[in-house]
Every structure is written in structure tokens, then in C-alpha cells.
Structure 1
Amino acid sequence: MTRSSDNPKSLPPFATMRAFEAVGRLCGVRRAAQALKLDHAVVSRHVRTLEEWAGVRLIHRVDGKTVLTEEGARYHARISTALAELNDASNELLLRNDESSLSICCVPGFAFEWLIPRLGAFQAANPNVKLELHATDEGPDFSRYEANVDIRYVPGDQPATRTSVSGVRSFEISRPPVFAVASPECAARLSYVSTPASLLDAPLLHEENESQWHLWFSEHGVATNDLALSGPRLWHAHMTLQAARRGQGVALANPFLLGDDLNAGRLVRLPADYDREVTLGSYVFLARADQWQTPAVVRFRLWLKDAAIISHLGRATLALRATREPTAIAV
């Protein structure tokens, strides 16, 4: 039996559908051309070819803007879904069968301050692994094979060794202490700071909101009662630390974010003589269960555990298992 899709005239050229989908999604030929890395004249020609094949107008200009016609909108909705499915299927095929490929998503602070400076060592030890790193606030959709591995900071007190996401395995990399830091110059201006409570009057640096500071104060027995805290929101941990290094205020940090800042004297702890440590969450490694034992994921997982241990050797608060996993790669 011959299917309609076997007829070469039943489908337009793929390039024309891809161009039209981008034009409709991005509301313009030039934007579509930039996204597809094509000349805008090529994209326009593809759309005209598709219109000629269909025998109907699919786009038109209204007040200088590219707008889909009624027929165009209906067709766009259907091919968008089909092209997205093709993209997902292709990503799945590549990630399933390319065991030398390693796509990592990672929370930005950990990526910028700790992971990137050490990736060269991993690549040197694993030259055949094709590595791709995405520093992102949003974790990947493992069901769509958007990445092999994800590293997140999970707030809370309970060990993050499990995940509620079906088909995903995880382990806790570390539950590091969190403390307040500032540049020596800023600390000198804040000489009155002798207890956590006295930091309430200091210029505080926040990530996306004030919640982490509220939690930190609470862990130190300081009731803030949702008090509005001073200071700018800088959204990412590595940005608050950069602002702290430049003397703009006090940031919260942990050893994975600080590197050698304390030893080098770029930052100091506040209060200076206060040695109580609290934890607010943990770094967690996640991967699809069916990719947990693929060679690239195994190598990266074992390397990550060793690197974290070496990075904070001797710290009693480092929450890593003392025993190594078997080094044999089971596929």
C-alpha cells in the first residue's frame, strides 16, 4: 500500500517548512534568518516557494509587521508541532547512540566559579569525550534528552539523594557551609559587625530574591519576620561574589563558589571571629537512569566526586561518600 507521504509531491521541500516555521514563530523574516543563520533573502525565497507549492498566501504585512494569514496560522500550528517532534527525536537518537558525547547543564554559580576552572583536567584525562556545558538556572528536560547530566543547588535540610522525577538518578555532591563574605575594604567599613544580627544593618547582596539571607539569619537565630532587607538583586551567585570582591556589599557564599578568595585575601568572612557554620542546601548530580552507566557519564561522575573531595579535603562538612564507586564501566 502506498502512503500519501511516499508521493514526492505530497510534501513541500523541508527547507521551506523550516523557514516558514521560524518566520511564524519569530514574527519576522530577518529574525528567522538570524536564528537559522541564513540570508534574509533566502528565507523570503523559501517562504514564497512554500506559498507557490500550497497555492495560498501564508504571510502578509500589516502595519510593517509580518503576520500569518488564516491559512498560514493553521498550517504553522501543525508543522511547528511536527518539527519540534523531529528535533526531539533527532536529539534523542544522537544522545542515545553517541556515548562519547557529554552535555552538562549546571547552576551558573557552580559552573563559573568551580566547574569551569577544573574542566581542563577532566578533558585532559578524557580527550575522547565531546563535552558541552550550559550554565543555566533551569534544569534540562531529561524526557526530551536535552542533556546527559544536570548539577543543581537544592535548598533544604534533607539529603538530596533521591528525585521525584521518574527515570532520573541522583547523588548528593556536597552540602557545603554558607557564610557571609565581603572585601577587606568593605569589612573595614563594617567594623561594627560582630554577630550575625549586626549584619541586618549592612549592605547585603542578593541573588534573585532575599530568601537566602532570610534563611541564613534564621539558622543563626536572628528573626527577620520577612523584614525587607537592603541591597540589590544580582540574580546569580557568581555576580553577587563579583560585586562583593569590588567592595559593594556582603554576599553569601560557600567553598564551591569562593575558590581561593579567602586565602588570597580578596574576601574575608563576616563576622570575623564567628566560627559557627550553617548549611542551606546541597549540590546534586542528576542524570537519566538509562544513561547512568554510559561511559561518558560514568567518567564524569567519578571525576566530579574526586575533584570535589580534593577541592575541600579535610572539611568535616563535605557530604560525599568516602568509598568510590567501582571504576569498571558497565554499559
Structure 2
Amino acid sequence: MSDRLPPLTALRAFEAAARHLSFQDAAAELSVTPAALSFQIKSLETHLGAPLFHRLNRRVELTEAGQALTAPASEGFQTLAAGWRAAKRTLDSGLLTITAGPAFTAKWLAPRLFDFAQRHPEIELRFAATLKMLDFATDDIDIAIRFGPGDEGRDAGLHLALTIEEWVTPMMHPDLAAHYPTPASLTEAPIIFDDSHAFLRNSVGWEDWFRACGVAADDLHGPRFSQADHAIDAAQSGAGVVLGRVSLAESALRHGQLVAPYDVALVPRAGFRVLCPEGAQTRPGTRAFLDWLAVEVRRMDDHRAGRRMIDAGALEA
């Protein structure tokens, strides 16, 4: 039996019919007549020397040979489609698609986009704000900003363009600061909980921060938010004190809408990784965004002045 591959059009007809288990629906998807699709599948069966479908009265079923071909054919066309999209992206330096979490997109990226747009009017940015781990090939992503402890397996084949160190410290509306001059006095304050990073093993919380300050705080209560930006918004409104992430609160701190009056800050076991496919970092649009991002990240260092940065991992010792 020859291993020579059959025509691609015949394989495409088979893949659609196998997915729908209907010649009519497959023909509609491919914009051909059912007769034309049936001819392509018959030619494929002739090439194979065996039927791929059982033709019943009003439906079709896959034969054993058809079942063996279905998954590889589907995966093959998905790979081809991803490769085609990747090839097109190399030619389109004017469009850049970035994925990041909803909170980081809203609180860090969005307030800065006007500056980037002014500097690079030739680049159109698109954002996929999601906590889902999007795939560079199948989801048409150019740059991913991911939060976590790092994953060598998932990051394999990707270029680590930049890391953004995260740190947390209590943050509150300026009007509250005078009422809570010390970490110990903060045990009497209305506490806001940010549970957005609870999915991380050994995540950092209020108990860790008070322990770093040498303050006993065993019975803390307050509203809990599953989204970090919502917790920041609540603190900004004066509702209480949040153990805020500098990345998300940076704009509010810079504009005086929040203050972080204590010198103790914790560096959690997770941070941001800015990733792109290996080799893509040299493309003009990607390079422009990465260079701009690095400058903006360095500006956050202003908020570190005078603080004691404590590695959260050291608290476990």
C-alpha cells in the first residue's frame, strides 16, 4: 500500500464530514454542494482502498478506518491554520495582540495606553483580558503577561522578555492614614481581603504581613473580593485597608488616591512574566512594545523608596 498522501481537498472534505457526521452540514461549512463533497470523500476512499463512512438512510457513521483518520486529520488542519496565522502575523507589524489578566489590564495597562499610542501611532493594540492561559499559535497572541511563580513546562519555547516584581503592603485612602499610624493600630481598621491569588500555593495574606511586623493579628474580618482590582477600588473609595499589589495600585498611589504609609512590604512567591514566541522579540511592533513596557516598569521603583522588602518565603523559616 502506498504512503503517498491524498489530495488536501479530499482530506478537508473528510475532516468536515467526520466532525459533523453529516455530508450536508459539512458541504454547507465548506461552501460546496453535497454531491461535490461526496465525490471528494469517494476519491479519498478509493485512494485508501477502504470505506471511511457507513452510509445509512439519513445519517453516516465512521468506519474503523474513518475513526483512525479523524483525530489526526483534525489536528493537522488546526496546525496548518495556526501556522498560516503565524506566518501572516510576521508580515503585519502594525497589529499587536496582548493577553493579560483583567485586573492588570484595567489597572496597569489601560492608564498607560495613551502614552504608547502617542509614541507609536502606527501600531494598533488589541487586548485579551482573561485569566485563561491563551495559546500563542491558536489564539493569535503576540505577547503574554502572566502572573504566577513561573512554569518551565508551559514557558518552553518562549522568550522571557521581562519580569515584573510584585510586592504588597497595606494601602488606604489618604483620609484613613491618620487614624492608623502604626502596624499595631491597623488591627482595629476595617480590613479588605484580596482573594484573587488564593489559587497560588503559599499565597501571601494579611497574617503574613502582620507577622513580618511582629504584630499579633489572629482574628481579622472584612469584605473579601475575588478580583484584585475590585479590592483596590474598595480601598480607594475609603471602605477600608487592602493589602495591595503595587502593580495594580501604582496609578492610584502616584496620583494620591491611595497611600501606603508603612515601611514593611512583602515580596510574594509569584510575579509577572512577559513572554513572546522565541524570535518574535525582534519584530518591530513587538520590540517597540517591550521597550516601552520596560521603561514603564522601572518607574514603579519610585514606590520602593524607604521600604523594607521582605521575601515572603523567609517568613516560613
The TM-score, its normalising length taken from structure 1, stands at: 0.62
Name the residue aligned to 1:110.
104
- Distance in 1 (CA, whole Å) between partners of 2:248 and 2:192 is 20
| Structure 2 spans left out of the alignment, 5+ residues | 42-52, 308-317
* Aligned AA (1:94): K
Give the structure 2 partner of residue 212 of structure 1: 204
Deviation string for 1:155-198 (max 9, x for gaps)?
4xxxx8x967443332445424311234578x59x969843882
SS of the residue aligned with 2:282? coil
Give the equivalent residue in structure 2 for 1:238: 229
Unpaired runs of at least 5, structure 1: 30-41, 62-67, 319-331
Change in CA separation of 1:282 and 1:294 when aligned onto 2, cut-off 3 Å: same
Say yes or no: does 1:178 pair with 2:168. Answer: yes
Deviation at 1:126, TM superposition (A): 1.6
Single out whichever of 128-137 and 240-249 deviates more from structure 2. 240-249
Identity %: 22
Q: Please state how far the C-alpha of 1:290 moved relative to its aligned partner.
A: 1.0
Asked whether the equivalents of residues 167 and 246 of structure 2 are also in contact (C-alpha less than 8 Å), the reply is yes
Q: In 2, are the aligned partners of 1:19 and 1:46 still within 8 Å (CA)? A: no
Aligned 1:185-224 pairs, distance under 5 A? 187=176, 194-195=183-184, 198=187, 202-209=191-198, 211-213=203-205, 215-217=208-210, 219-220=212-213
CA shift, 1:282, in A, is 3.5
* CA distance in structure 1 between the partners assigned to 2:278 and 2:306 by the alignment: 28
1:118 is paired with a residue of what secondary structure? helix
SS in 1 for 2:76: helix
Provide closer, same or farther for how the CA distance between residues 179 and 316 of structure 1 changes in structure 2, counting only shifts above 3 A.
Answer: same
Identify if the C-alpha distance between structure 1 residues 217 and 128 changes in structure 2 by more than 3 Å, giving closer, same or farther: same
Deviation, structure 1 residue 301: 1.3
Task: Name the residue aligned to 1:278.
Answer: 266
Does the C-alpha gap of structure 1 residues 140 and 199 become closer, same or farther in structure 2, counting only changes over 3 Å? farther
**Correspondent of 2:288 among 277, 299, 315:** 299
Q: Cα distance 1:11–1:44, how it changes in 2: closer, same or farther (>3 A)? A: closer
Compute the displacement of 1:300 (Å).
Answer: 0.9
Amino acid at match of 2:168: V
Deviation per CA, 1:10-49, whole angstroms, max 9, x where unpaired? 3565xx965974x68xxxx9xxxxxxxxxxxx66998977
Code of the aligned partner of 2:110 = I
1:208-251 CA distance string (max 9 Å, x none)? 528331554554456889x99764341x3213223434555543
- The one-letter amino acid of 2:264's match is R
Cα RMSD (Å): 4.9
Residues 71 and 129 from structure 1, CA distance in 2 versus in 1: closer, same or farther, beyond 3 angstroms? farther
Once the two structures are TM-superposed, the CA of residue 115 in structure 1 deviates from its matched residue by 0.8
Report if aligned partners of 2:98, 2:143 keep a CA contact under 8 Å in 1: yes
- Following the alignment from structure 1 to structure 2, what is the Cα–Cα distance between the partners of residues 70 and 222? 68
Aligned to 1:133: 127
Seen in structure 2, the aligned counterparts of structure 1 residues 203 and 94 have a Cα distance that, compared at 3 Å, is same
Deviation at 1:148, TM superposition (A): 2.2
* Residue aligning to 1:34: none
Deviation at 1:85, TM superposition (A): 1.7
Closer/same/farther in 2, CA of residues 241 and 102 from structure 1, 3 Å limit:
same
The alignment status of 1:152 with 2:138, answered yes or no, reads no
Change (3 A) 1:47 1:146: same
Greater CA drift, 260-269 or 68-77: 68-77
> 2:246 is matched by which residue type in structure 1?
P
Tell me the matched-pair count: 282
Identify if the C-alpha distance between structure 1 residues 95 and 145 changes in structure 2 by more than 3 Å, giving closer, same or farther.
Answer: farther
Measure, in 2, the Cα distance between the counterparts of 1:199 and 1:47.
Answer: 74
Which digits, 9 at most, give the CA deviation of each residue in 1:118-141, with x for residues without a partner? 122212222222322222324444
The residue that corresponds to 1:256 in the other structure is 247
Is 1:167 the counterpart of 2:157 in the alignment?
yes
Q: Distance in 2 between matches of 1:176 and 1:7?
A: 50
3-state SS of 2:204 partner: helix
Contact 2:189 2:241 in 1 (8 A): no
Cα distance change, pair 263–94 in 1 and its aligned pair in 2 (3 A): closer
> TM-score, normalised to structure 2's length?
0.64
| Contact 2:191-2:221 at 8 Å conserved across structures | no
